[in-house]
């Protein structure tokens, strides 16, 4: 019996529909179900060929379990080892190496650290030159976390003084200062597996109030093809099987704004009927392919980048 597990949090519509889609195929050799856990022994066998992880990034025990599942031969979507190492700055840097335009971006040292980190621990740091950083990216600019999403702790800053003030509020977050792109159009492109993508016009708004435009054809075929190809290229290089890549469109150029959404919003309320069935059916297809055809061979991201070596 081939078993596919789904690890979920508070969401209902997508994980429920995903399990129904897989089990609705009526295959006697295939079953999808929610993963149930309560303590894991060393090298405990994993009963699943594939686990689709929708909550592990928020629950530390799940992260530990999923790494053990990989060790036992389970294919986890998305790879928990990569998710643990991921940050938005690295995603921007990789995309730029691949030829995808990026906003000018600076990563800043933290304001605060864990309690046992003191001045002796930070002797390699010099004071931040906020004026130089602001001059490099331009003002106004966006200040946002290097880890995270959902518009949390994201601020538009108009001056060096405002930058200093917002930065001082960031606590233990590692922050990025980024060029503000005044875009002509905006695309959110789902990339599932290594070959399936869907570019959707998106209206970004804070607090999970962004809107997916329901007319799929409102994005022209040439722009759609370019954005889908770029999103899939990122998936292949970064080892993702579930991602949503956001592009600003300016004078016909695609500019990467948010590239590493390893647990993208796929709720029915958000995607609605124009896009939700595609997300469910395609994710089911990817999971079944990974379970029955075997995982894709492991890749090393650096082999795609061809950066000069000394």
- How many beta carbons lie within 10 A of that of residue 208, not counting itself? 12
Give the helix/strand (H/E) hosting 269.
helix 268-293
Q: Report pLDDT for 148.
A: 73
Can you give the residue range of the structural domain that contains 202? Answer: 185-261
**For 210-309, where are the E strands, in sequence order?**
211-212, 242-250, 253-258
Contact in structure between 245 and 66 (CB atoms under 8 Å) = no
**71 lies in some domain:** yes
d(CA 286, CA 35): 18
d(CA 243, CA 95): 14
Question: If you search the block for the tokens 């060029």, which residue do you land on?
Answer: 179
Domain boundary among 145, 164, 179: 179
Which distant-in-sequence residues (6+ apart) come within 8 Å of 303 by Cβ?
A: none
**73 lies in some domain:** yes
d(CA 124, CA 135): 24
Residue 167: burial class (beta carbons within 10 Å; 0-12, 13-18, 19+): buried
pTM score, whole prediction: 0.90
Peptide bond into 78 cis (omega under 30): yes
d(CA 182, CA 188): 16
- How many beta carbons lie within 10 A of that of residue 299, not counting itself? 13
**66 lies in some domain:** yes
Q: Report pLDDT for 295.
A: 66
Buried b (16+ CB within 10 A) or exposed e, 180-192: bbebebbbbbbbb
**274 lies in some domain:** no
pLDDT tens track, the chain, 310 positions? 999 999 999 999 999 999 999 999 999 999 999 999 999 999 999 999 999 999 998 999 999 999 999 999 999 999 998 877 778 999 999 999 999 999 999 999 999 998 889 889 999 999 999 999 999 999 999 999 998 777 788 999 999 999 999 999 999 999 999 999 999 999 999 999 989 999 999 998 876 678 999 999 999 999 999 999 999 999 998 889 999 999 999 999 999 999 999 899 999 999 999 999 999 999 999 999 999 987 666 555 555 555 554 4
Domain boundary among 179, 196, 229: 179
Query: What is the Cα gyration radius of the chain?
Result: 21
> Are residue 219 and residue 168 in the same domain, yes or no?
no
**276 lies in some domain:** no
**69 lies in some domain:** yes
Q: Report pLDDT for 309.
A: 46
d(CA 266, CA 286): 15
**236 lies in some domain:** yes
Domain count, the chain: 3
Q: Report pLDDT for 82.
A: 81
Tell me, what CATH number does 249's domain have?
3.30.470.20
């Amino acid at each position: 019996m081939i078993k596919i597990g789904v690890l979920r949090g508070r969401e209902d519509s997508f994980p429920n529909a995903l399990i129904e889609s897989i089990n609705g195929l009526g295959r006697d050799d295939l079953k999808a179900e929610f993963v149930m856990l309560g303590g894991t022994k060393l090298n405990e066998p994993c009963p699943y060929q594939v686990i689709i992880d929708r909550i592990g990034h928020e629950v530390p025990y799940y992260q530990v379990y999923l790494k053990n599942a990989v060790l036992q031969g389970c294919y986890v979507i998305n790879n928990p080892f990569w998710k643990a190492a991921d940050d938005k700055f690295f995603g921007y840097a990789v995309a730029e190496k691949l030829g995808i335009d990026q906003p000018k971006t600076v990563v800043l040292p933290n304001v605060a650290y864990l309690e046992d980190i003191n001045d002796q621990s930070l002797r390699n740091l010099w004071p931040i030159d906020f004026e130089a950083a602001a001059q490099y990216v331009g003002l106004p600019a966006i200040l946002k976390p290097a880890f995270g999403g959902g518009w949390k702790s994201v601020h538009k800053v108009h001056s060096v003084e405002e930058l200093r003030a917002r930065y001082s509020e960031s606590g233990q977050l590692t922050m990025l200062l980024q060029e503000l792109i005044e875009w002509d159009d905006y695309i959110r492109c789902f990339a599932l597996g290594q070959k399936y993508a869907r570019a959707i016009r998106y209206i970004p708004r804070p607090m999970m109030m962004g809107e997916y435009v329901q007319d799929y054809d409102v994005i022209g075929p040439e722009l759609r093809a370019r954005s889908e190809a770029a999103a899939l290229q990122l998936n292949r290089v970064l080892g993702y099987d579930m991602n949503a890549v956001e592009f600003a469109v300016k004078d016909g150029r695609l500019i990467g704004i948010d590239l590493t959404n390893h647990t993208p919003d796929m709720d029915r309320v958000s995607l609605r009927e124009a896009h939700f069935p595609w997300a469910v059916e395609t994710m089911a297809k990817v999971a079944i392919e990974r379970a029955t055809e075997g995982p894709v061979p492991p890749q090393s991201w650096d082999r795609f980048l061809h950066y000069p070596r000394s």
